[in-house]
Structure 1
């Protein structure tokens, strides 16, 4: 693994100044760690779309507490009308809501998440709910607003109470509108606004690996984490999809990419790679989870391709090292 990491960074030249890999076994022991170049395990960066799976964990806890269900609708929770009133939380978490997948308000600091979602509510949908997959930021913005309305708490308060405080994470580990600049907390980018380090992301990711039951903590339910690893609407048309652009066959569950041949039945390998290269994944069958940490300056298919392809090369090496 070390040879591969160093070779890939060397091959990439100045476009990849550094990265790190940490691997944890099913007992949460760090069994491998290696840094290349200028990266470090305690360096806090914007993790982009690796924020999505953590947001899903917060929402699973809101469901466990009885405030929402996967079948809660925007009509019930937000007062939306027409066809958009039938959008469920399940649609939103699987990016099959039929909403336009992006809106500029999601990266606008100085407004509230409620302001942005009100703007999203006025846009025209691109498809009926449950018929089209479009990867993007609007879906989770709406989901988070449903959680805010039903609990009476802001998104970052929910994140802090549900995950950050129980795990002992500092105040600076939070969701921002512009995470690279650590700016804006009233309209946090739910789909990509988390700032954290590898060491701080690990306990968040461990909770997902253990399906919300870890070290005496209970977050969400095992059934919700099982649902996360299944594609809820297998017959959807694939619209915007960064993995399709990379010619990869992955499908999508609830805030997680599914890396297996039977996504409708469930996958042991799920992931949440981000636009700046940060790529966490887990393999429950092999008994490990891993974090490929980096924050690259470019934000394009080349960055995502680099990190996703590298994670794919690493997976059989990790399984072999663990004797799987």
Structure 2
């Protein structure tokens, strides 16, 4: 492994994908309160239909009411169907909870958000991502979605990158050059909402991580509390172990660069998170010397 090796980062894709949408919001090209029906002609418009209450912010925070679990992707990622048609299938499949009442970690939310971006901008999601996020940071085609999925690639989990290039995103986040309203961006999107599904990596090790806009709000305590809000640390671990995080309070970012296969008895994502938890106090101790 080197810092320039191109690897599959799996769910670490969620942070740059959601950050792309957030930058469009801050640029005024979208609004956090925008609803899918404003740009997707097939989306429910009847106020009596709960799907009409979904907003871009609930999609970024995974509280839209759609679920399916992280591994039950359905049409997501299939090159045999377009992004718009896949999102239509997700829509027609219905909600599992009223919008903004439950948190469910899964790929549907960002797939819908990407379809909204595509419809609003008139261009593919990755093209927009490159314009508003990757190119300004000088990232190359080493950071990209695979061509095999067409425009329906798995937005929340199929990005490839290198540790060096992904690190530029974290550095810019830490420096404050990517986000204008940090408080709104870092806000806890779970709060007291029901947690329908959360992967083991974010609930193991006797920890209670919450969620923001495409990233975990790290809280290495059995119960998430106000102290976790006061000292924001965000992370976006992937299924193959790639584990990036930013510690705003202590002023550093880090990446555990890993690409391990998932097998029986093997959970690279959980291993990455465990290592992150072990490294955090060691890094803080060194920074305070």
What is the TM-score when the length of structure 1 is the normalising length?
A: 0.79
CA drift at 1:268: 1.6
Find the counterpart in structure 2 of residue 277 from structure 1: 241
Q: Deviations over 1:148-202 (max 9, x none)?
A: 11111110101111122222222242123xxxxx633421211111101101111
Structure with greater proportional strand content: 1
Residue 271 of structure 2 corresponds to 306
Structure 2 counterpart of 1:25 = none
Aligned to 1:153, the other structure's residue is in SS state coil
- The question of 1:230 aligning with 2:187 is answered yes
1:193 pairs with 2:155: no
Residue 251 of structure 2 aligns with which residue? Answer: 287
Q: How far apart, in 2, do the equivalents of 1:61 and 1:303 lie? A: 31
Give per-residue Cα distances to partners, 1:113-155, cap 9 Å, x unaligned: 2121111111121100011111010000001111111111110
Of residues 262, 269, 274, the one that matches 2:226 is 262
CA contact (8 A) 1:99 1:139 kept: yes
Distance in 1, Cα, partners of 2:231 & 2:38: 32
**SS in structure 2 opposite 1:78?**
coil
For residues 142-157 of structure 1, what are the structure 2 equivalents within 5 Å? Answer: 142-157=112-127
Residues in 1 aligned to 2:37 and 2:124: alpha-carbon distance in whole angstroms: 20
Give the secondary-structure state (helix, strand or coil) at the position aligned to 1:192: coil
Alignment match of 1:296 (pick from 233, 238, 260): 260
Matching residue within 202, 209, 215 for 1:250? 209
Mapped contact 2:239–2:267 kept (Cα < 8 A)? no
Structure 2: how far apart are the matches of 1:264 and 1:321? Answer: 21
Q: How many residues align?
A: 273
> 2:107 and 2:266 mapped to 1: Cα distance?
17
Matched with 1:208 is 173
C-alpha deviation, 1:226, in angstroms = 2.2
Q: Tell me the equivalent position of 1:92.
A: 59
Q: Which of 102, 118, 123 is 2:88 aligned to?
A: 118
Structure 1's 164 and 144: CA in aligned 2 closer, same or farther, altered over 3 A? same
Q: Which residue of 2 aligns with 1:53?
A: 15
Whether contact under 8 Å (1:100, 1:123) holds in the other structure is: no
Q: What's the secondary structure of 1:184's corresponding residue? A: helix
Per the alignment, in what secondary structure is the counterpart of residue 203 of structure 2?
helix
TM-score using structure 2 length: 0.88
CA contact (8 A) 2:4 2:162 kept: yes
Is the Cα–Cα contact under 8 Å of residues 3 and 163 in structure 2 kept in the other structure?
yes
Aligned to 2:30: 68
Q: What is the CA–CA distance in structure 2 between the aligned matches of 1:301 and 1:248, rounded to whole Å?
A: 20
1:132 is aligned, of 88, 97, 102, to 102
What is the SS of the residue equivalent to 1:121? helix
Contact kept, 8 Å, 1:71 with 1:88, in 2: the verdict is: yes
With over 3 angstroms needed to count, the CA separation of the structure-2 counterparts of 1:169 and 1:245, relative to structure 1, is: same
Secondary structure, counterpart of 2:130 in structure 1 = helix
Quote the Cα distance in structure 1 between the aligned partners of 2:256 and 2:111: 26
User: Superposition RMSD on alpha carbons, in Å?
Assistant: 2.0
Mark the runs of 5 or more structure 2 residues left unpaired by the alignment.
Answer: 220-224
Q: Unaligned stretches of 5+ in structure 1?
A: 1-38, 177-181, 214-218
